Structure 1
Amino acid sequence: MLDEKDLVLVHALQEAPRASWAVLASVLGTDARTLVRRYARLRDVGLLRVMATSGPRLLERQLFAHLRLRTGPGRVAPVAEELARWPQASTIRLTDGSTQIYALLVGSDHTRLVETAQQRVAELPDVREAEINTVLLAGDVGRAARLDALSPQQIGRLRGQQTVGEGQSTQPVRLSAEDFELIRLLLEDGRTEISELAARLGREASSVSRRVARLRNDGWLDIITLVPDRAWSSPLRALLWCTVAPQDVDALLRTVSGRPWVGSLTVTTGRANVLVTVNLMTRSQLPGIQAELSTLCPSLRLLEAQLSVRAVKLHMRLLAAGDRLSDPVSDPFWDIRHDFLP
């Protein structure tokens, strides 16, 4: 688990994942060397990862799907571990309820994504039931979720550090093979110093610095801070499979975006056309959240609430024993490179 000082650092990195150690130290009222040591310790034990992810412009090129599996007795863990090897499986959770495994799949072509998933599921041992639903719309509410360890003044100062340029350009750069290599390095560690990135790419540091800023400004690249579920102040995750009247979806997206318990909201195909993931401190909070959702959207009907027993994979990273984030990370762009590269 994270102690109070760990939580402060994690929250600061959630707000400004590539802020300099000097800036972080100034905002947090400590010295940079202490923060460097604390970050290294948390990273070494697998409780913290800062990593690259798709920016909003790249997300527009990617498709997502929900996969739910029910297996034979005693086969949940082996099936989930086999599923975790798939590059298209971004996040995998073991759950209670009617199905025992949930996976978020990612690709760039709908037909290829679904057909590949169906083929892979058919090859898995002891799968008794499988359901694949395409994500039609994803509310970007999960990125607003933060720990609650900093003051509003500290948050304001750190969010100011997130401004890396003049915003998205109308004619964004075209991604190159070198850009994907740069992003791969930032997938490993999103706080890698520009000097190290330049050395590994064989480029001038000033050129690499400008390229990272341009990729972020143009919306191709984002940097996130990731911790395992149990390291959060709200360590439980629930998956709420709901039906919502189509005309109420937009209003629901707007109203839930400010709720601290919301992890994500997606509109999908299938009997349950909305999936809301929520963050809980205890299981007893769930009825209250369900009631609040019904108040926010009268047409919402809950079909099933599933609790995540544990995560096997989070945002392309496997979880090892003790819910520790691994160093190896799946390539989230495995199916999209051909859209940019000759």
Structure 2
Amino acid sequence: MPVFTEDDLHLVNALQIAPRAPWSRVAAALGVDAATATRRWRRLTSEGLAWTTAYAPEYSLFALVQLACRPDRIEQLSTAVCALPAVYSVERTTGRYQLELWVAAGDLNALDGFVTRSLSTLAGVVEARTSVGVNVYADGSDWRAGSLDKYERAALGDSDQPAVRSSDPGRFSDRRLVAALAEDARRSVVDLASDTGMSATSVRRRLTEMTRAGRLILRAEMSRQAAGWPILVTYRLRVPPADLDRFGTTTTKWSAVRVCVPMLGGETNLLLVAWLPTMAESLRLESAIVRAFPQAEIRERDLSVATLKRVGRVLDGYGRAINFVPVTVE
């Protein structure tokens, strides 16, 4: 399994901060020339170790659907759900539910139909449990590898603030632009204009408007195994409602916390995902939660044995991208 060098991690960290920054700006922040930065990124992407993507959070509600599966059907079900465009991320986990699916749906009615007709009827599914995200304190687009110093981050324009997200309805042209960026958020303005039928000037203007308004989320991703975070743990907590905002703003500053989302459905009301270097770090994280929020209860903890899909990218056992399934809203 390839392992990231320090330079690799710096490069991914730079693109997490500024996914569409010109190579000249990225290179200047890293202290290399543009040709070197470009060459390193091409190597990482060609090996499936890193990539960029884009999506518009305003176009759908997001839900976590957990599937309990017959043991002899888990592999087949894993393949089947990864092929579904509305299922944008998939984890295979320990615990009662072997598959955790993040689903994009237009509304609750569409989500219900997708779960009951497309998921629950798959051969080998024993049980399905659904919860719906209320808002987002942090997701993968907010998480940083943390390898760059404050001066390097400043050179890339990092504000250390979570991404702004909007729920305003979008334009049809915006959706075409999002689709054109989904597989590679660094595509050129010329290519985007050709795909969308917009002028290059319009593409530049819409990109600026949408990203500033939080209507377009750009992110750089990587193989967490190669980068040094082989452990992924998902926690479901019961947090007193009055403490939810404080919990979200506090824990999302912790380097281990990748996702923090209030959820509706079931006995828990908050989901937290952590990327960790070792299993022992999960105990330290739980201790930190208990110390900071003694009234919060960790009701469930699931260890990911394999990340099968992340925001449309199908991954192999080492977290390398091997295919892309464009995400569509159910």
Relative to the length of structure 2, the TM-score reads 0.90
* Correspondence 1:16-35 to 2 at 5 A: 16-35=18-37
Between the aligned partners of 2:159 and 2:292, the Cα distance in structure 1 is 34
Q: Which amino acid aligns with 2:147?
A: A
User: 2:312 maps to what in 1?
Assistant: 316
- Contact 1:139 / 1:253 at 8 angstroms: preserved in 2? yes
- Contact 1:173 / 1:218 at 8 angstroms: preserved in 2? no
Between the aligned partners of 1:234 and 1:168, the Cα distance in structure 2 is 27
User: 2:122 maps to what in 1?
Assistant: 124
Aligned match for 1:290, one of 286, 289, 292: 286
Q: Which amino acid aligns with 1:35?
A: A
Between the aligned partners of 1:209 and 1:181, the Cα distance in structure 2 is 14
Structure 1 residues 241 and 168: alpha-carbon distance in aligned structure 2, compared to 1, 3 A threshold: closer
User: 1:65 maps to what in 2?
Assistant: 63
Between the aligned partners of 2:48 and 2:117, the Cα distance in structure 1 is 33
Between the aligned partners of 1:130 and 1:112, the Cα distance in structure 2 is 16
- Contact 1:89 / 1:103 at 8 angstroms: preserved in 2? yes
- Contact 1:168 / 1:217 at 8 angstroms: preserved in 2? no
Structure 1 segments unaligned to the other structure (5+ residues): 336-342
Between the aligned partners of 1:26 and 1:100, the Cα distance in structure 2 is 45
Aligned match for 1:209, one of 204, 228, 240: 204
User: 1:193 maps to what in 2?
Assistant: 188
Following superposition, the deviation at residue 255 of structure 1 comes to: 1.5
- Contact 1:21 / 1:32 at 8 angstroms: preserved in 2? yes
Structure 1 residues 112 and 258: alpha-carbon distance in aligned structure 2, compared to 1, 3 A threshold: same
Aligned match for 1:144, one of 138, 142, 146: 142
Following superposition, the deviation at residue 135 of structure 1 comes to: 2.2
Aligned match for 1:306, one of 292, 302, 306: 302
Between the aligned partners of 1:120 and 1:143, the Cα distance in structure 2 is 28
Aligned match for 2:51, one of 24, 37, 49: 49
Between the aligned partners of 1:226 and 1:201, the Cα distance in structure 2 is 25
Structure 2 segments unaligned to the other structure (5+ residues): none
* Correspondence 1:1-342 to 2 at 5 A: 1-54=3-56, 58=58, 61-140=59-138, 142-159=140-157, 174-176=170-172, 178-268=173-263, 269-320=265-316, 322-332=318-328, 334-335=329-330
Between the aligned partners of 1:304 and 1:160, the Cα distance in structure 2 is 34
RMSD: 2.4
After superposition, what is the alpha-carbon deviation per residue over 1:140-179, rounded to whole angstroms, capped at 9, x for unaligned? 25443211221110001112699xxxx999xx89512x33
Q: Which amino acid aligns with 1:188?
A: E
Q: Which amino acid aligns with 2:35?
A: R
Relative to the length of structure 1, the TM-score reads 0.87
After superposition, what is the alpha-carbon deviation per residue over 1:85-117, rounded to whole angstroms, capped at 9, x for unaligned? 222212100111222111111212112112211
Structure 1 residues 6 and 216: alpha-carbon distance in aligned structure 2, compared to 1, 3 A threshold: same
Q: Number of matched residues?
A: 323
SS of aligned partner of 1:304: strand
After superposition, what is the alpha-carbon deviation per residue over 1:198-219, rounded to whole angstroms, capped at 9, x for unaligned? 3444554333222222222333
Q: Which amino acid aligns with 2:32?
A: T
- Contact 1:49 / 1:189 at 8 angstroms: preserved in 2? yes
Following superposition, the deviation at residue 242 of structure 1 comes to: 1.8
Between the aligned partners of 2:92 and 2:267, the Cα distance in structure 1 is 21
- Contact 1:27 / 1:158 at 8 angstroms: preserved in 2? yes
Between the aligned partners of 1:295 and 1:289, the Cα distance in structure 2 is 10
Q: Which amino acid aligns with 2:127?
A: E
